[in-house]
Amino acid sequence: MKKPKLNRKEKITKEIDLPESVNASVNGWFLLIKGPKGEINRYFKQHTVSIKINNKKILLESERMTKKDKKIIRSLSAHIKNMIRGSQQNHTYTLKICSGHFPMNVSVSGNKFVVKNFLGEKLPRTLSLKEGVNVKVEGELINITSANKEMAGQVSGDIEQLTRRPGYDNRIFQDGIYIINKDGKEMK
């Protein structure tokens, strides 16, 4: 009787180079990246993938070479590259204020984003802004910058949802605030 073959998988590793102005440290499942524009701390809990730092390189290692582990390593490397880019230069989202029927007043005061007179409403619509995100209103454009790409995207989505009106045709009722640029990618 033949012995079954042991399915030994090779070790898979991925290296991510750190630029000179960026430092990284690992504490358990937390990865901290510091750069000139800020620092980002993120929780990466993956039991099959380990994160190590060695000579200005971040090493992602897995003992098994399965499709799932390859996908996890690629996802983690994309998140880490976004963190590195955000610590060097902030991620920027741009939104446009469209008010055809009623003049809309948009302002930022402290950590509150306020939209007044949206379609003639008497009560203002407010949104609490997340920490680490800068929001500036310049005419009919709103610029959102942050070192953390996920937080900048979440705040822009929250602002867009603040003026959402379900049940209305957007081709006719175009009043609202819409994302026009997602970190360098123009929206159509």
> Percent of the chain at pLDDT above 90?
63
The full set of domain ranges for the chain reads: 12-88, 91-186
CATH number of the domain at 91-186, please?
Answer: 3.90.930.12
The DSSP secondary-structure symbol of 175 reads -
pLDDT of residue 32: 93
Average pLDDT over residues 30-42: 92
Q: What is the pLDDT of residue 154?
A: 95
| Domains 12-88 and 91-186 equal at CATH topology level | yes
pLDDT tens-digit readout, 94-126: 999 998 878 899 999 989 999 999 988 899 999
In sequence order, the β-bridge partners of residue 8 are: none
12-88: CATH superfamily: Ribosomal protein L6 (3.90.930.12)
Which residue, among 100, 85, 105, has the nearest Cα to 38 in the 3D structure? 85
Residue 122: CA atoms inside 13 Å, Cβ hemisphere, count?
0
Quick one: CA torsion of 21, 91, 185, 136, rounded to 10 degrees?
Answer: -140
What mean pLDDT, rounded, does the chain reach? 89
